[in-house]
C-alpha cells in the first residue's frame, strides 16, 4: 500500500504544502490550573492540486482533541440564524423525524422541537455536551458517525426524514466513511441540511482566525457543492450567514448513489491563487499585530483580549503575542478562572478586570463582528482608561483596524 498522502475529497495524490503553524495549543482546552497539561503541536496545511481543497493531512489524533478534558459546549453562541435555516428545510419538506449530528448541548434540537419536528435524536462525541442534551430530554448517542454507527441508530429509531449537519464536516478526516453513515441514516428522499464555515472572505483577507487545528477541511462554496454531488445529494437551497465570521448552508436532497470522486472537479487555478494570497496575508497579519502590541506596550498600554473561544486562542498563538497579554476577558461564567490556551492568563469577567486595568488599554476584540459594538460599549462603561480597539475577525478588516490603532497610539 502506498504511503503517499491523498486528498480526502477527490482522492488525488498531488498535494502541495501551503503553510505550517508551530507550537499550537489545543484551542478549546481551557486549563483549570497552570499544572494541567498544555500540549503543543505543529500543524501543516496542504492544498490539493486536483480539486483545490485546503486540508490538514496529518491531523492531531481525535482522542487528544476530544478527550475527557473536553468540556467545550456551544450553546453560549446563540446563533440567530437557526430558525431561518430550519424554515428553509421545512419549506421543502414537512417537519418529521430529524437527527442532529454533532448536536453538542442540544441547542439546535430545542429549535427543531419548537419548529414542529415530531422526533429529534442527536449524536455527539463530546460526553459532557451529550449529557447536557440528555438532561434536556433528548435521545442522544455518544460517538462518531460511520456506517456501523448509523445502522445501529436506524435499527433502534428507523430512518430519518431530515439530517442536520452544522459545523461538523470540516472536522471529518474520513469523508467516505462519514457520508456512508449520513446516507444510511436518511430515507431515500430525505433532506440533508449542511452548514460549513464560509472561508473565502477570510482567505482573501489573509486572516489566520479562520484556521483551527480541529478543522481538517476548508471548503469554498464550489467545493461544498462538489462534496454534496459526489455523495449523491442534489442542492435545493443555499444560504449565507454572518455567524462565526461567515457560514454557508445548503439544503440538499438524497438522490442517486455517490459518484466517482474525480468526476466534475472544479477548476483549481482560482483556488490556487486565493490560497497563495491567503498564506502571504497571514504573514502580514502576524507581523502587523505583533508589531502593534509591542508598540502599545512600549507606550504604556496594557493589553486585553476580549473573548477566549478557539478563534481568539489560535490567533494569539499564531501571532506570538501570548506572553504580551495582561488580561483575558470573557462573558461565559463557565470558563472564568480557567487559563486561556497557550497563555498563563486566567479568564476573568470584565468587572473584575476593570479595577486592575491601568490608564491606557489596547483591547483586542476576539468576538463575533456582529457583537463588537455591544462589547465596545460594555468596556467603555466599565473601564476608566484610554481604550484603543482592534477587530480580530472577518468580515471586519483587521489590517485597517490595526493601522487605525497604531495611529491613535502614536498620535
Query: CA-to-CA distance for 246 and 311, rounded, in angstroms?
Result: 13
CA-wise closest residue to 388 among 371, 403, 368, 370? 403
For residue 277, tell me if it sits in a domain: no
CA-wise closest residue to 220 among 178, 266, 254? 266
For residue 212, give the C-alpha cell: 483551527
- Do 99 and 214 share a domain, yes or no? yes
Contact between 31 and 38 under an 8 Å Cβ cutoff? The reply is yes
- Do 100 and 239 share a domain, yes or no? yes
CATH number for the domain spanning 366: value is 3.40.50.720
3-state secondary structure of 143: coil
For residue 60, tell me if it sits in a domain: no
- Do 113 and 191 share a domain, yes or no? yes
> Helices (DSSP H) in 195-318: which residue ranges?
200-205, 221-230, 269-298, 310-318
Q: For 109-135, write each residue's pLDDT tens digit.
A: 999 999 999 999 999 988 888 999 999
Q: Structurally, how many domains does the chain consist of?
A: 2
Q: At which residue does the C-alpha cell 445548503 appear?
A: 250
Question: What are the CA-CA distances from residue 142 to residues 109, 125, 217, 344 (Å)?
Answer: 15, 5, 23, 33
- Do 332 and 387 share a domain, yes or no? yes
- Do 166 and 306 share a domain, yes or no? no
For residue 247, tell me if it sits in a domain: yes
For residue 354, tell me if it sits in a domain: yes
Contact between 101 and 130 under an 8 Å Cβ cutoff? The reply is no
- Do 250 and 324 share a domain, yes or no? no
Contact between 365 and 392 under an 8 Å Cβ cutoff? The reply is yes
Last residue of a domain, one of 202, 232, 254: 254
For residue 52, tell me if it sits in a domain: no
> Helices (DSSP H) in 77-187: which residue ranges?
82-92, 107-114, 127-135, 147-157, 175-185
302-306 and 327-329: which strand pairing?
parallel
Q: For 53-87, write each residue's pLDDT tens digit.
A: 999 999 888 777 776 555 555 655 567 889 999 99
CATH number for the domain spanning 168: value is 3.40.50.150
- The sign of the dihedral angle between the CA atoms of 74, 92, 231, 185 is positive
- Do 108 and 237 share a domain, yes or no? yes
CA dihedral 119, 106, 310, 397 (to 10 degrees): 70
CA-wise closest residue to 197 among 378, 394, 21, 12? 394
Beta strands in 210-278 (DSSP E): 217-218, 233-241, 247-254
Contact between 383 and 361 under an 8 Å Cβ cutoff? The reply is yes
Q: What is the pLDDT of residue 110?
A: 94
Q: Give, for all 411 residues of the chain, the pLDDT tens digit.
A: 457 899 999 999 999 999 999 999 998 889 999 999 888 999 999 999 999 999 999 988 877 777 655 555 565 556 788 999 999 999 999 999 999 999 999 999 999 999 999 999 999 988 888 999 999 999 999 999 999 999 999 999 999 999 999 999 999 999 999 999 999 999 999 999 999 999 999 999 999 999 999 999 999 999 999 999 999 999 999 999 988 778 999 999 999 777 766 667 888 998 999 999 999 999 999 999 999 999 999 999 999 999 999 999 999 999 999 999 999 999 999 899 999 998 999 999 999 998 887 789 999 999 988 889 999 999 999 998 899 999 999 999 999 999 999 999 986
CA-wise closest residue to 132 among 153, 98, 109? 109
For residue 276, tell me if it sits in a domain: no
Q: For 205-245, write each residue's pLDDT tens digit.
A: 999 999 999 999 999 999 999 999 999 999 999 999 988 77
- Do 150 and 240 share a domain, yes or no? yes
For residue 211, give the C-alpha cell: 484556521
For residue 119, give the C-alpha cell: 422526533
User: Using omega within 30 degrees of 0 as the cis cutoff, is the peptide bond preceding 395 cis?
Assistant: yes
3-state secondary structure of 177: helix
CA-wise closest residue to 202 among 190, 215, 191? 215
For residue 51, tell me if it sits in a domain: no
- Do 209 and 93 share a domain, yes or no? yes
Question: What are the CA-CA distances from residue 401 to residues 285, 298, 365, 391, 396 (Å)?
Answer: 11, 19, 11, 6, 8
Contact between 202 and 54 under an 8 Å Cβ cutoff? The reply is no
Query: CA-to-CA distance for 50 and 27, rounded, in angstroms?
Result: 31
For residue 385, give the C-alpha cell: 482608561
% residues pLDDT > 70 (the chain): 95
* pTM of the predicted model as reported, rounded to 2 decimal places: 0.92
Provide φ and ψ at 20, rounded to 5°.
Answer: -135, 135
- Do 311 and 389 share a domain, yes or no? yes
Residues 6+ apart with CB under 8 A from 305: 312, 316, 325, 327, 328, 329, 340, 345, 364, 366
- Do 108 and 239 share a domain, yes or no? yes
For residue 177, tell me if it sits in a domain: yes
Burial zone of 277 (CB within 10 Å; 0-12 exposed, 13-18 middle, 19+ buried): middle
Q: Which domain holds residue 151?
A: 75-254
Query: CA-to-CA distance for 218 and 19, rounded, in angstroms?
Result: 14
- Do 297 and 226 share a domain, yes or no? no
Amino acid at each position: 500500500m502506498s504511503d503517499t498522502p491523498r486528498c480526502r475529497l477527490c482522492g488525488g495524490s498531488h498535494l502541495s504544502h501551503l503553510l505550517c503553524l508551530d507550537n499550537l495549543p489545543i484551542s478549546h482546552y481551557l486549563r483549570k490550573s497552570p499544572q494541567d497539561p498544555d500540549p503543543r503541536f505543529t500543524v501543516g496545511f496542504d492544498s490539493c492540486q486536483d480539486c483545490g481543497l485546503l486540508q490538514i493531512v496529518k491531523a492531531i489524533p481525535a482522542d487528544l482533541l476530544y478527550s475527557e478534558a473536553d468540556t467545550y459546549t456551544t450553546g453560549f453562541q446563540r446563533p440567530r440564524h437557526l430558525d431561518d435555516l430550519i424554515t428553509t428545510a421545512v419549506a421543502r419538506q414537512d417537519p418529521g423525524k430529524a437527527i442532529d449530528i454533532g448536536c453538542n448541548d442540544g441547542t439546535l434540537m430545542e429549535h427543531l422541537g419548537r419548529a414542529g419536528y415530531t422526533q429529534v435524536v442527536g449524536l455527539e462525541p463530546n460526553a459532557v455536551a451529550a449529557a447536557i442534551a440528555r438532561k434536556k430530554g433528548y435521545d442522544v448517542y455518544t460517538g462518531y458517525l460511520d456506517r456501523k454507527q448509523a445502522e445501529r441508530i436506524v435499527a433502534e429509531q428507523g430512518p430519518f426524514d431530515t439530517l442536520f449537519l452544522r459545523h461538523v464536516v470540516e472536522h471529518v478526516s474520513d469523508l467516505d466513511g462519514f457520508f456512508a453513515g449520513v446516507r444510511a441514516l436518511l430515507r431515500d428522499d430525505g433532506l440533508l441540511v449542511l452548514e460549513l464555515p464560509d472561508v473565502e472572505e477570510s482567505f482573501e483577507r489573509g486572516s489566520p482566525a479562520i484556521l483551527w487545528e480541529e478543522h481538517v477541511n476548508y471548503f469554498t462554496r464550489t467545493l461544498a457543492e462538489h462534496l454534496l454531488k459526489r455523495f449523491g445529494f442534489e442542492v435545493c437551497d443555499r444560504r449565507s450567514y454572518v455567524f462565526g465570521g461567515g457560514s454557508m448552508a445548503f439544503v440538499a436532497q438524497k438522490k442517486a448513489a455517490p459518484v466517482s470522486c474525480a468526476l466534475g472537479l472544479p477548476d483549481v487555478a482560482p483556488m490556487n491563487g486565493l490560497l497563495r494570497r491567503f498564506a502571504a496575508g497571514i504573514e502580514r497579519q502576524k507581523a502587523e499585530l505583533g508589531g502593534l502590541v509591542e508598540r502599545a506596550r512600549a507606550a504604556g498600554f496594557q493589553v486585553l483580549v476580549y473573548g477566549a473561544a478557539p478563534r481568539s486562542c489560535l490567533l494569539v498563538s499564531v501571532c506570538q503575542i501570548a506572553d504580551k497579554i495582561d488580561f483575558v476577558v470573557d462573558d461565559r461564567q463557565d470558563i472564568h478562572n480557567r487559563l486561556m490556551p497557550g497563555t498563563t492568563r486566567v479568564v476573568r469577567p470584565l468587572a473584575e478586570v476593570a479595577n486592575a486595568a491601568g490608564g491606557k488599554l489596547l483591547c483586542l476584540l476576539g468576538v463575533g463582528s456582529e457583537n463588537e459594538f455591544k462589547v465596545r460599549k460594555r468596556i467603555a462603561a466599565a473601564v476608566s482608561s484610554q481604550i484603543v480597539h482592534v477587530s480580530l475577525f472577518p468580515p471586519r478588516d483587521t489590517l485597517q483596524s490595526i493601522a487605525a490603532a497604531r495611529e491613535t497610539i502614536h498620535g
